[in-house]
Each structure stands twice: as C-alpha cells, then as structure tokens.
Amino acid sequence: MRLSSPANVTRAIFPSLLTGVRRAIAGEVRVVRALLWWWPLWALLTCLLAAMTAAYQAPRAYAIDVGAPDDQAYVHNFHARVPDESPTYRWSDVYGYVSFPGLGGSRPFTVTLQLDTARPAPVTIIVNGETLFSRPLQPGWQTISLRVDEKHPRALASRDTIIEIRAPDYRTPDLPTEPKGIKLASVLLDQSRTGSFITPAYSTLVLLGGALLLVYLLVGRSLYGFGTIRRPRAWAILVALAFSVSLVLWLALSHIAASVASPHLVVTAVSALLLLIAVERLLGSSRYALSGAQRRVLAFSVAFAFGLRYGGMALPQSVIIDMPWHMKWLRTLLLGDWQSLYFPGGLSTVPREWGLDLLIPKSPLFYFIFAPLSALPFDIETSVKWLICFLDATLVLAVFWLVLRVGGSRWAAVAGAGLYAIVPLAFRAFSYGILPTILAQWLAACLVVALVAVGARLWTITQWAALMLLAAFALLSFPTVALFLTLTLLLWTAIRWLNRCGAGMAMTVWRIPALLLAGWALAIWAYYDLYISSVIASAT
C-alpha cells in the first residue's frame, strides 16, 4: 500500500503509540466529565462569583512603597531599587508605569505620588489613558495628588488602574548608559468610601473562578478510582470550599494583590494537574509493578512538589532575593554579550558588601541552558521559574528510584519521595533564588542516578561518553556543588572498594574515579582554566 501523506506514515510507524495517546486522552476526558458533571460544584462557583463581587464593594487604600522589596509586582519599566537612601525609591525610565490591576471601576479615587525630578524637567502623569498632570517641576522631593472622579469618565470607568509617568531622558554620572525619568518613592491610591457600585474586574473573577475549578479537579483526579465517584467529589468539594473562602477573604483585603496573583494561580494549578496525569500514566507503563495507590501517591507527590515551589516562587509579591541578579546576566547573554559571562569579570566577583576582592568561577552554564526560553511567548523570568521548579520536582522520582535500588520497599520509596516534596531546605533555596545551585544539584543527582543505574555492568562506549559528558556538565554547573560531588563520588569509590567481591568487581570500582577525572578534564578545558591564575592571584 502506498502511503500518500505524513499522517498515514505516522500511523503506520507508530500505531500503538497513537492508540495509547488516544485512549489516555479519552480516559482523562471521562474522568473530568464525571467530576464536573455535578451540580454542587457549579452552585459553589456561582456563590464564589457573587461573593467576590460583594467583596469588591469594600473600598480600600493601597500604598506602594517604591524601593521596597515587594514593589516589583506593581512597578514596570523602572530601574533597580535604591534602598540605601531615605526615602527609598526607584528611577523610572523615560516612560514608567505603576499598575493597580483589578482595582475595580466606577468608584472615585485619589492618587498621591511622592517624586523627585533631580533636575528641572517637565513631568506628565496619565491615569488610565487620561492626562491629569503636565507641567515643569523643580528638583527635590514633592507630593502630587490627583483626583479621579466623574470629571474624568474614561479614567473612572477602567477596572484596572495604570498610572503612566513621562519625563525627558536624563543620564546620571554613575550610570551614563541608562535613560532615566524621575525618582519615585511612593504611590498611594485611596478609593472613596461612598459612591456608586464598584464594577469588578471581570478578568480577575474569571481567573479566580478557573483556579477554583482547577483545584477541585486536582483533588478529585488524585482520589479518582478509590471507591465510587462520590468519594473524590466529596473531598474535592470540601477543599474547593475552603479555597473559595480564602479567595473571597483575600480579595476583600486587597483587590490588587488577588488580581496580580490570579493568573499565576491558574498556571500553577494547570501545571500541577498535567504533571499528576502524565506521571501517573508513565508509572502505569513502568516495570516496577506499582499498585494504583502507590502510583497515585507518587504522581501526586511530584505535582505537589511543583505546586509548592512554583506556587510560592512565581507570585509577583514574592521577593526572590537573587532573581534580579540572575535576570541581569541572562539578559546580558540574550543581548549577545556572552564574553561577560564566560571570561573573568563582573559575574565572577563577590558582592561588594563582603568587603573582599576575590574571583569565584560562577559558571555561566545556567544562563546558556535557560537562554532558549526567551523564544517562548511568555515573560522570561516566569519561564525560568517554571522550568527550575519542574526540574527540582522531578527529583521526587529520583528519590523514589534510589530507595528502591538500595532495597527499600515500594511504600518506603514512595514515602521517601513524598518527604523530598516537602523538605524545607528546598524552599530556602528557592526563596533565596540560588537558581544555578538548584540546577547544579539536579545535574549532580542525575549523574548519581545514572551511575547507580549502570552499576557494575560493562560500560559501553556510548554509556561512557554520555556519563563523561553528564559529569562535565555537573562539575561545570557550580563550584561548590562540583566539590561536593567530587567528594561524594570518591567516598562512594572507597566504600565500593572496601566491599568489593572478586577481581572483576575490583576493576569496575576504578571506573568512577576515572569518570571523575575525565569530567574534570573536560570542565577545566571548557571553562575553569580561565580562572586558575586569577583565583590564585586574588587569593594570595
């Protein structure tokens, strides 16, 4: 038979794969339909939308301390924080924006800004597309108040408030390459306590309602198959009820905080649900003969690990200490200046507050690996957070496999994997934002798993080359992790040598230090040799 189209070729080559995918999708559709086809869920969703609309009727005052760590969710097109002066502030660009997403419309409010032009300059302030202020200002800190009421119907009707600040290009002597506008220290938005009905932000209601449905599906899917459909529905609706109460209270306390977080809640829930489904399906086709409960708990541990990490890290209100540093160097690479990362320079210097003049070879491998994410139609910082959280969540499966490998029972392996999902050390690493170290730990764990998997068998040329390349990447990824991995593998070699059985086993033991030497040779040839003389000179 002649194959006339690529689709026919695909079906001829991968018939079982296509059939399996179709069956899996059909099965998941049946599960989703069984969980959603239940009137109490839709009654809860209706009540949530009504309660959130009512919560919008509580007017609030919102103060943004520009220059504080948590201002990053609301200021856009601004330069780095200047926290060491009083008041703290940021320089805007020629065009700077302060957003209050999901504020609600039709209720009058007052905007108060504390700013300094640092030189005589004309300043224009636009609120929701209407110019409310435009005149020259003298240098020095000053306060400007703007009233948005019925005299400005366009600005009043907007359900998302955006304040745009424009000023002429200004270059400071310390950073002559950065165009600046004005210094902004604080923004206060105060809604009137009386007035018309506050029109809620529809996008916020839709996203928070979607987050409720996704949480319900995540819990229901985790319990589906254990007993009748009534059990997963009951537990899922209880969790969804508690979640909806939390959403309403959060929205009542701060319209803008809940609105800013709403898309990230949806992305987190969707990702966790898809991870749960994918991991459980993969485990079902594995050779470990896990029971349905074991597969479900292990899959939920992976999804829960991702949700905890990304759910907290991706919130715009979260302050990830080192994130601006990493984004600076990632954007430097994306601009084509790879030499700044590869050769000794700013990336490899210690922070000024250390009071030391040392070079540390902070490998640019992290930035080179994550740079392709810029091709995706998403914010680069959010994409980096998503991928690093996904990589760390996959270590749940690595822990499970290692416990099985050393002779643990299946439930012991599942318990160990679940423990890693909630281990506090991981959250400390993510809160500080030491992303290259997290990547290095993941690469080191992959190398250990690969070595254990190969074991005492005869290594083929392909396996040897792959392990050597993985070892080089792990050693290149971060110097402290490279040192830890080296000591770990040497200790592993010593233990295996002491417990060797026969001449053949004695020969295989020496493959690990040989692999380590080969990995170090590649790492030194590729990068570390640039730093040998510089590090010795700076240390002495």
Is 531's pLDDT higher than 90? no
Is 15's pLDDT higher than 90? no
Is the bond into 87 cis (omega within 30 degrees of 0)?
yes
Measured from the Cβ of residue 155, the count of other Cβ atoms closer than 10 Å reads 23
Q: Are 252 and 58 in contact (CB under 8 A)?
A: yes
Q: Are 539 and 358 in contact (CB under 8 A)?
A: yes
Q: Which of 46, 189, 24, 7 is nearest to 104 (CA)?
A: 189
Tell me the per-residue pLDDT of 192-240, one tens digit each, with 9 for 90 and over: 988 889 999 999 999 999 999 999 999 999 998 787 888 899 999 999 9
Mean per-residue pLDDT of the chain: 87
Tell me the per-residue pLDDT of 355-406, one tens digit each, with 9 for 90 and over: 666 777 888 999 999 999 999 988 898 999 999 999 999 999 999 999 998 8
Classify residue 504 as exposed, middle or buried by CB count within 10 Å of its CB (0-12, 13-18, 19+). exposed
CA 376, 380, 381, 382: dihedral to nearest 10 degrees?
Answer: -20
C-alpha 156/C-alpha 103 separation (Å) is 11
Q: Are 274 and 79 in contact (CB under 8 A)?
A: no
Mean pLDDT lowest for which of 135-149, 482-496, 502-516? 502-516
Tell me the per-residue pLDDT of 166-181, one tens digit each, with 9 for 90 and over: 999 998 887 788 899 9
% of the chain exceeding 90 in pLDDT: 58
Residues β-bridged to residue 115:
142, 184
Tell me the per-residue pLDDT of 25-57, one tens digit each, with 9 for 90 and over: 888 889 899 999 999 999 999 999 999 999 999
Which tokens belong to 51?
């309660």
Tell me the per-residue pLDDT of 244-277, one tens digit each, with 9 for 90 and over: 999 999 999 988 989 999 999 999 999 999 999 9
Supply the pTM of this predicted model.
0.86
Q: Which of 48, 64, 143, 66 is nearest to 103 (CA)?
A: 64
H or E segment at 114? strand 109-116
Classify residue 448 as exposed, middle or buried by CB count within 10 Å of its CB (0-12, 13-18, 19+). middle
Residues 6+ apart with CB under 8 A from 235: 219, 220, 223
